[in-house]
Structure 1
Amino acid sequence: MERMVGTVVRGVRAPIIRQGDDLVKIVTDSVIGAAESEGFSLRDKDVVAVTEAVVARSQGNYAHIDDIAADVHQKCGDDTVGVIFPILSRNRFAICLKGIAKGLKKMVLMFSYPSDEVGNHLVSLDQLDEKGINPWNDVLTEGDYRRLFGENLHPFTGVDYVAYYKSLVEEMGCEVQILFANDCRAILPYAKKVIHCDIHSRARTKRLLQAAGAELTLGLDEILNAPVGSSGCNEKYGLLGSNKATEETVKLFPRDCQDFVEQVQASLFTRTGKHVEVMVYGDGAFKDPVGKIWELADPVVSPAYTDGLTGVPSELKLKYLADNNFAHLSGAELQAAITEYIRGKASDLKGSMESQGTTPRRITDLIGSLCDLTSGSGDKGTPIVLVQGYFDNYAK
């Protein structure tokens, strides 16, 4: 009988991970233990995904705000520094901001508006329209913002991020001036040294600032990109992808992930004889329809994955085939025709009408988003996700 189930996704429970734990063994034991407990078997081309959080925890990749401050001060000195385009997040940026502020004497903090880069809104587009504000051209002071828009609380957290971030900077003994603008170059009349905190647009921001005469430009990926004393670091991403650990420490994005995924793949093959694919995943890439937040606050969905996860899907749209190529068929004849068509499909369907609407995003972005939704960010206790049947299709 043909298999009646396609893709299956399972969150896999694991122990609480601490620094120094053998995560390769824990992942292997947990996946095999889940299979034995739930009565399913591993298969070739299954995907085992591990959240970046436990990889970084096992590595002990942490930093204190004093480490951030020391790095910032060493790179920026005592001059006034513009800190621009922060994302609005207690988890993702607040502790980083405290460390940056602790390393400076004066900061000009410039928010993008109406929202940050990942969709957290300070004000709504309707509010801008009502007040006649053009966010692409208009530069607002803190006074302008309050006069026009008053207090605006984040719909999910209830936080006034302008007031909250200002208080964090002042708490660290740093003088702060607040601005609102979307052109990164608007900061230059106020500060010639700039720390730009955007994630996915950081290369363009750096290019524009440098072309406009900025004396120094630092992305978050250039802060703690090397250890400060005994601190953690991330050579490629610095503070990008970090999360709050305590009120004075952050957990950084994990390092050396490629070795880890290859070791897990080898370990599972040794114990099961199955060639599974393995990846590390962080934030998924999807947009919340209510809060308008685009989830991806990590620099990438997956910092490392095994070779079988490279590329994009090459899929045909079944409903297009049924309504067009085989509109004259039904029942078993239609099933047989579509099955044969899928078996003969080209490896690259770009531009083909039969593939329209199949969203050819990278496989790691698709699976990583699926895993992030499965594991969640709270108390599910499933930092490992097993995905089976993802590479199956109607013809298999």
Structure 2
Amino acid sequence: MRCVGTVVRGIRTPIIKENDDLATIVVDSLMNAKESEGFEFKDKDVVAITEAVVGISEGNYVTVDDVAKDLQEKFPSKSIGVVNPILSRNRFSIVLKGIARGMDKIVLQTTFPADEVGNGILDEEILAESDFHLGSVISEDDYKETFGSWIHPFTGINMIDFYRELIESEDCEVEFVFSNDVKTILDYSKDVLTCDIHTRGKTVALLKDLGANVYGLHQILTEPVDGSGFNPQYGLLGSNKATEEKLKLFPKTGDKLVKEVQKRLIDITGKQIEVMVYGDGAFKDPVGKIWELADPVVSPAHTDGLIGTPNEIKLKYVSDNKFADLRGDELKEAIKEEIRNKDKDLTGQMITEGTTPRVLTDLIGSLCDLTSGSGDKGTPVVFIQGYFDNLAND
């Protein structure tokens, strides 16, 4: 009898740099891990590669000047409203530097009490006791008077002060406004850059219908500027700070990479191994309130075997209801038989109640992101075995 289900391993690789042969590095690192740890490959194993090293190996970078030039072409007035930025030094500060370098004035409108992914901007207890509410428009002066002393408990930074200093360092004028209604920005400017991630299409369409000259971050750097990197689908969304003057973009060759890694692994092992590229996991921290998904998608590329959603029954439901009178081995065998005979599509059936209704790549990508972390683990490849197994697989 098998006593272990899913096994997840972070795979160490060499430090990956621009123009490295990433497919070879991934496969070689897996083979080295196999020899070191003594595991064997199986059908439906999953190999996941973090988007960061894919973008690095592609050399998919842009500079602050590239961002500024693209924006100047789209906003010749050089005075724009910027709505729904996330409050992140890693994710947005270099983007904002490029915006400020290309513009003469910015009206920066942020949501409150937090940005789209949960980064706080003010003390919610003070908000509850103030005259303001979630439908209010809060001026910069009112923010300073009521909330301006607030700093983020994890970073120790007031991001409004940080963003102001960054923008002004580029000789750009800035005015802040705080509103949860994107239409508020039209009181300040008809030229608008929207920065929201997961509601980007709706926001751009709404403002365009109201007569704005509007672009989203996903529409900036979709083509090269003076030979720069670019991402035709996501633009600046999913970018990360590389240096104080450079951004690494979300990868654009992931589809080619996953197919190549899969082919090599199948040739070597004879097993049907699935491969994906993953970015941020789609989970929310209940303490820090951060929704981790600052990338436009969890997985920008994956092989066909990872398409779909889980088709699982809820063991607790079956045990407590259909087999309430059974115990021990008799119960286990009854549940195994239930699993073996389950429908190929359980959608809408009570027997699935309590299972996680998410696509496979979001679930697996979250598992991978938690495994590889965002710091110094040195495991940009994650190897998963048994993810598609169930209790009936002995």
Q: TM-score, normalised by structure 1?
A: 0.98
Do 1:110 and 1:179's aligned partners in 2 also have CA atoms closer than 8 Å? Answer: yes
Establish whether residue 305 from structure 1 lines up as the match of residue 293 from structure 2. no
Do 1:62 and 1:249's aligned partners in 2 also have CA atoms closer than 8 Å? Answer: yes
Do 1:265 and 1:277's aligned partners in 2 also have CA atoms closer than 8 Å? Answer: yes
Do 1:314 and 1:360's aligned partners in 2 also have CA atoms closer than 8 Å? Answer: no
1:268 matched residue in structure 2: 265
The secondary structure found in structure 2 opposite 1:113 is coil
Match of 1:244 among 241, 248, 271: 241
The secondary structure found in structure 2 opposite 1:49 is strand
The secondary structure found in structure 2 opposite 1:91 is coil
Establish whether residue 167 from structure 1 lines up as the match of residue 165 from structure 2. yes
Name the CA distance, whole Å, in 2 between partners of 1:40 and 1:79: 58
Do 2:7 and 2:384's aligned partners in 1 also have CA atoms closer than 8 Å? Answer: yes
Name the CA distance, whole Å, in 2 between partners of 1:349 and 1:186: 45
The secondary structure found in structure 1 opposite 2:91 is helix
Amino acid at match of 1:27: V
Name the CA distance, whole Å, in 1 between partners of 2:206 and 2:291: 24
Amino acid at match of 1:188: L
Do 2:109 and 2:178's aligned partners in 1 also have CA atoms closer than 8 Å? Answer: yes
Q: For each residue in 1:175-232, what CA deviation from the matched residue of structure 2 results, as whole angstroms up to 9, or x when unmatched? A: 1111111111101111000001000011111122122221x11100011011001110
Within 5 Å, give how 1:68-87 maps onto structure 2: 68-87=67-86
Name the CA distance, whole Å, in 1 between partners of 2:370 and 2:196: 24
Amino acid at match of 1:104: M
Name the CA distance, whole Å, in 1 between partners of 2:366 and 2:271: 24
1:142 matched residue in structure 2: 140
1:389 matched residue in structure 2: 386
Name the CA distance, whole Å, in 2 between partners of 1:328 and 1:3: 25
CA shift for structure 1 position 29:
0.5
Do 1:232 and 1:252's aligned partners in 2 also have CA atoms closer than 8 Å? Answer: yes
312-321 or 328-337, which deviates more: 328-337
2:351 matched residue in structure 1: 354
1:51 matched residue in structure 2: 50
Count of aligned pairs: 393
2:361 matched residue in structure 1: 364
Amino acid at match of 1:252: L
Q: For each residue in 1:155-189, what CA deviation from the matched residue of structure 2 results, as whole angstroms up to 9, or x when unmatched? A: 21111100110111111111111111111110111
CA shift for structure 1 position 79:
3.9
2:66 matched residue in structure 1: 67
Amino acid at match of 1:172: E
CA shift for structure 1 position 330:
1.4
1:184 matched residue in structure 2: 182
Structure 2 unpaired stretches of 5+: none
Structure 1 unpaired stretches of 5+: none
Aligned-CA RMSD value: 0.9
1:16 matched residue in structure 2: 15
CA shift for structure 1 position 61:
0.3
Q: TM-score, normalised by structure 2?
A: 0.98
CA shift for structure 1 position 128:
1.5
CA shift for structure 1 position 127:
2.0
CA shift for structure 1 position 124:
3.5
